[in-house]
Amino acid sequence: MKMQDAVRAVVMSGLLLAPMATQAQKPSAPSVTAANSADAARVNRELLTSTVHEAWLASDRNEDKFFDMVKQCAEMSAQKRGVTLPDTEAAGRKMGMLIKTIARRDPDQLLYAVVDAAVKQTAAPPVRAAK
């Protein structure tokens, strides 16, 4: 929980301060909550193809909804990479700063790519079986 709180604070402060152009039409919003596994798969597909800016707009510029999207991306990235994210405030702050920095640099890049890059730099390498 410490890591999640720190990530949330850093990411949200960066997004609220980052200048993002508004779009005339709102993109189709990936739902943050999924009722069943079919909905979850659809959400994952939509979330994986959303840019940082599109995800922010899809969250209705709601910090909690956006953080849920970031959290979902981080969990998916950690699972696919076979790593566990450390649950410390320092790790959360580091990950949040990485996400904020990368996202502010280019809000038109995929949110998943931003979060995945932060996961790679924050998580300890997976333990591999010795041959």
What mean pLDDT do residues 42-61 have? 90
Give the pLDDT of residue 22.
33
Of 92 and 43, the structure prediction assigns the larger pLDDT to: 92
Predicted TM-score (pTM) of this structure: 0.70
Question: Which residue's structure tokens are 């959360």?
Answer: 92
Whole-angstrom distance, CA of residue 90 vs CA of residue 7? 9
**78-131 tens-digit pLDDT:** 999 999 998 899 999 999 999 999 999 999 999 999 999 999 999 987 766 556
Mean pLDDT over the full length of the chain: 78
Of 16 and 75, the structure prediction assigns the larger pLDDT to: 75
Q: Is the pLDDT of residue 77 over 90?
A: yes
Percent residues over pLDDT 70 in the chain: 64
Of 70 and 129, the structure prediction assigns the larger pLDDT to: 70
Give the pLDDT of residue 12.
56
Per-residue DSSP letter, 24:
S
Whole-angstrom distance, CA of residue 12 vs CA of residue 9? 5
Give the pLDDT of residue 50.
96
Task: Say what the alpha-carbon torsion angle 12, 109, 111, 34 is, to the nearest 10 degrees.
Answer: 120
